[in-house]
């Protein structure tokens, strides 16, 4: 069978998620580096988003759909539970992260640092100060969620955890987010434990990427 091709950018949180799924399940794959809204992305995703997947004659877009295909089609640990309760809870957390937490922590908070709309290109303090209480509230929500078992769902790793980890990685590299996570002890322990997994370490964004080790506080 042909090798899985993940088409996206190593700096993209959702491309990172797709790669982590491959690593956790020991799926051979190739990363083809492309930017959002590139011709390669538009060839598969109607809105040019990344990642997209190509596997043989299958072309697939949207990270959750990609993860579902990989989890069902390949051997290895099941990352999306089949038991109804656990499956529903996994879907719940993926939806909460993708529709709300990503918007708060990445599209609003992080972007105010790395893609500010200020005249001088400096971090948008007004936007950062406005969204920080929401960041803190959502960090608290996640902290309570992982406090009991150390995972978002059940007592083992699921796709819900994989889907969250790149967001926490990035938020921790900016002061308000770092302080909020540090104050949330169960979430901090959760992050450190999962960040030590080979799937996370092997797929970390390259130095200089937003929120990566050695990255500047903003990108010009």
CA distance 205 to 114: 15
Q: What is the CATH number of the domain that holds 27?
A: 3.40.30.10
Distance CA 49, CA 65 (A): 13
Domain of 114 in residue numbering reads as 84-201
The answer to whether residue 211 is domain-embedded is: no
Whether residues 156 and 57 fall in one domain: no
Asked whether residue 145 is domain-assigned, the answer is: yes
User: In tens digits, what is the pLDDT along the chain, a chain of 220 residues?
Assistant: 689 999 999 999 999 999 999 999 999 999 999 999 999 999 999 999 999 999 999 999 999 999 999 999 999 999 999 999 999 999 999 999 999 999 999 999 999 999 999 999 999 999 999 999 999 999 999 999 999 999 999 999 999 999 999 999 999 999 999 999 999 999 999 999 999 999 999 999 987 655 444 443 322 2
Decide which of 73, 101, 131 is a domain's last residue: 73
Tokens representing 89 are 């809870």
* Per-residue b or e along 137-171, where b marks 16 or more CB atoms closer than 10 Å to that residue's CB: ebbeebbebbeeeebbbeeebbbbbbbbbbbbbbb
* 62 plus 128 within the same structural domain: no
93 and 170 both lie in a single domain: yes
Handedness of CA 180, 182, 188, 191 (dihedral sign): positive
Do 67 and 100 fall within a single domain?
Answer: no
Question: Do 159 and 88 belong to one domain?
Answer: yes
- Based on its alpha-carbon atoms, the radius of gyration of the chain, rounded to whole angstroms, reads 17
Stated pTM of the model: 0.92
Q: Are residues 138 and 190 in the same domain?
A: yes
What CATH number should be reported for the domain holding residue 175? 1.20.1050.10
Tell whether 206 is covered by a domain. Answer: no
Domain count for the chain = 2
Query: How far apart are alpha carbons 80 and 97 in whole angstroms?
Result: 15
Q: Are residues 166 and 98 in the same domain?
A: yes
If asked whether residues 96 and 148 sit together in one domain, one would say yes
Is omega for the bond preceding 109 within 30 degrees of 0, making it cis?
A: no
């Amino acid at each position: 069978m042909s090798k899985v091709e993940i088409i996206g950018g190593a700096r993209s949180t959702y491309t990172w998620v797709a790669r982590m799924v491959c690593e956790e399940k020991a799926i051979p794959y190739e990363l083809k580096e492309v930017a959002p809204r590139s011709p390669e992305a538009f060839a598969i995703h109607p809105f040019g988003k990344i990642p997209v997947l190509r596997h043989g004659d299958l072309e697939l877009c949207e990270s959750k759909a990609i993860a579902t295909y990989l989890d069902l089609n390949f051997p290895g640990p099941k990352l999306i539970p089949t038991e109804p309760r656990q499956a529903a809870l996994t879907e719940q957390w993926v939806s909460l992260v993708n529709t709300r937490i990503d918007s708060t922590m990445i599209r609003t908070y992080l972007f105010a640092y790395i893609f500010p709309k200020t005249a001088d290109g400096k971090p948008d303090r007004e936007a950062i100060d406005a969204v920080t209480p929401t960041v803190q509230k959502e960090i608290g929500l996640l902290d309570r969620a992982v406090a009991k078992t150390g995972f978002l769902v059940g007592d083992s790793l699921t796709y819900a955890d994989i889907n969250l980890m790149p967001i926490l990685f990035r938020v921790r590299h900016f002061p308000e987010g770092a302080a909020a996570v540090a104050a949330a002890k169960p979430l901090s322990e959760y992050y450190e434990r999962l960040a030590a997994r080979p799937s996370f370490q092997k797929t970390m964004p390259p130095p200089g990427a937003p929120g990566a080790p050695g990255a500047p506080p903003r990108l010009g």
